[in-house]
Amino acid sequence: MNDDAYQIEIDSQLFHRLCEALEKQSPDVEATSSLDGMSGGFKFSDEFPCQFKNDEEALFPCISLLRTLWAYRQSLVMRQPRIELANWWEVVLKLAPHWPGFLPERTSSEMLELALQCEAGAIRLTEDLDKLDNDLEQERRRAMGQPHEI
């Protein structure tokens, strides 16, 4: 996981805009959890501010920031804090303390089983992507008449 949150500057207007949107997110008791394959962590359906879905300037920075937060939360639950992500977590926690992702029940050891499932899912995803890459490379070699690797 890249630790620069899509190269957002913490003191930038965009970062503060993203934090304002996170702060306005309301917890949903019906929120569902899932794996975010890029961060390796779990996410909940009520944690993404939908207003950025069509905002070209903010969409990718928002996703990157969330992935940074999800990766750090995963590391906290696994009791292996990723110090390179801690500053992002602390700053967003100060600016958006009511973001549903900071709910105590989502950051506590109660989430360990989900975190372990996500870790296993991330490993499977990586293995599947490696296999796909290998299969595509072998197909490319066959198409070019080159011998394939064993």
DSSP code per residue over the chain: --TTGGG--TTSHHHHHHHHHHHHPPP-TT--EEEETTTTEEEETTSS-GGGTT-TTTHHHHHHHHHHHHHHHHHHHTT---HHHHHHHHHHHHH-TT-GGG-HHHHSGGGHHHHHHHHHHHHHHHHHHHHHHHHHHHHHHHHTTPPPP-
Nearest CA among 84, 72, 91 for reference residue 19: 91
> Is residue 148 domain-resident?
no
Within 13 A of 16's CA, how many CA atoms are on the CB side? Answer: 3
> Is residue 15 domain-resident?
yes
Cβ atoms of 58 and 18 within 8 Å: the answer is: yes
> Is residue 54 domain-resident?
yes
Domain interval for residue 53? 5-143
> Is residue 30 domain-resident?
yes
pLDDT at 4 over 70: no
> Is residue 150 domain-resident?
no
Cβ atoms of 61 and 52 within 8 Å: the answer is: no
| Tens of pLDDT, residues 104-124 | 999 988 887 877 787 777 777
pLDDT at 29 over 90: yes
Lowest mean pLDDT among 17-31, 49-63, 71-85: 49-63
> Is residue 135 domain-resident?
yes
| Confidence label for 2 from pLDDT (cuts 50, 70 and 90) | very low
> Is residue 59 domain-resident?
yes
C-alpha torsion angle, residues 111, 122, 25, 90 (rounded to 10):
70
Q: What is the mean pLDDT of residues 36-62?
A: 90
> Is residue 41 domain-resident?
yes
Query: In whole numbers, what is the pLDDT of the chain averaged over residues?
Result: 87
User: How many domains does the chain contain in total?
Assistant: 1
